[in-house]
Amino acid sequence: MKDKFYQYIQTLQDTITSKLEEVDGEAKFREDIWKRPEGGGGRSRVIENGAVFEKGGVNISAVHGELPKSMQTYFGVEDADFFACGLSLVIHPKSPMVPTVHANWRYFEMYDKEGNIVDQWFGGGQDLTPYYLFDEDAVHFHSVCKRACDAHHPEFYPTYKKKCDEYFWNNHRNEARGVGGLFFDYCKATGDMGMQDWYNFVTEVGNSFLEAYIPIVIKRSAIGFTTLQRDWQEIRRGRYVEFNLVHDKGTLFGLKTNGRIESILMSLPPHVQWRYDHHPKKGSEEERLLATLKMPKEWV
């Protein structure tokens, strides 16, 4: 399964980066191949200063070795070895009218000292973070997510949509990071879902990503914007940074397992503002966004 999924994410990385380059029309992804001293490595691709995308990364990795003590405590195991592979992406467009997007699809195995698999699971999801809220964009994104889920189980979309709303919540700000999407983790073999079934589900979600995001990029990148709207984008990006550095489990896992720091922190936008006690004007589109982020919404 690990070889099969790693092959899948290599192909998916090629598909996604090719499409993003096509949409941008100017910038190309820079590729870095890296090795992890403890075992494994990855292939990072970063795009910067494009016509459409200010910064973005589409990274794959496959790492293995002894699970660090801190992560043994986290998982509640002793003397375990692990294998983890996945694709992680974050795209920060230049225009504040185009939302930031994040996605991740991953697979994990844990072994005893004899090398036997003692646990294995899939995880992942995709979520949208707009700076100006176009309701139809959120509806489109969630509709694609729901269609991918419905092909496998009628309860997957409502369950994983709710988990996404709960996970991407900035507790210290009491607001959502964005308008959500899907989040699933610890997807293990059960009576009605074997690992092959989970593979089929996760890859269907992965394959739906471009359909969920690219039409929004094309539609909104043609809209002009002001300096004040760009300022608002950078202020909201500050909240994105706060979530990734304070709450995100993937960032924590990468740092705790001696991951490649450039790849882990590629999710951070290049231009950000933190304004003291900033509040948007009453009745503004900025205020409408904040009101929506205070209470998760059923988009479809």
HEC states along the chain?
CHHHHHHHHHHHHHHHHHHHHHHHCCCCCEEEEEECCCCEEEEEEEEECCCCEEEEEEEEEEEEEECCHHHHHHHCCCCCEEEEEEEEEEEEECCCCCCEEEEEEEEEEEECCCCCEEEEEEEEEEEEECCCCCHHHHHHHHHHHHHHHHCCCCCHHHHHHHHHHHHCEECCCCEECCCEEEEEEEECCCCCCCHHHHHHHHHHHHHHHHHHHHHHHHHHCCCCCCHHHHHHHHHHHHHHHHHHHHCCHHHHHHHHCCCCHHHHHHHCCCCCCCCCCCCCCCCCHHHHHHHHHCCCCCCC
Of 156, 55, 149, 128, the C-alpha closest to 297 is: 128
Residues with active-site annotation: 102
21 Cβ contact list (under 8 Å, min separation 6): 27, 28, 29, 47
Of 130, 93, 122, 123, the C-alpha closest to 299 is: 130
CA distance 176 to 138: 14
Q: Which two tokens stand for residue 100?
A: 């930031």
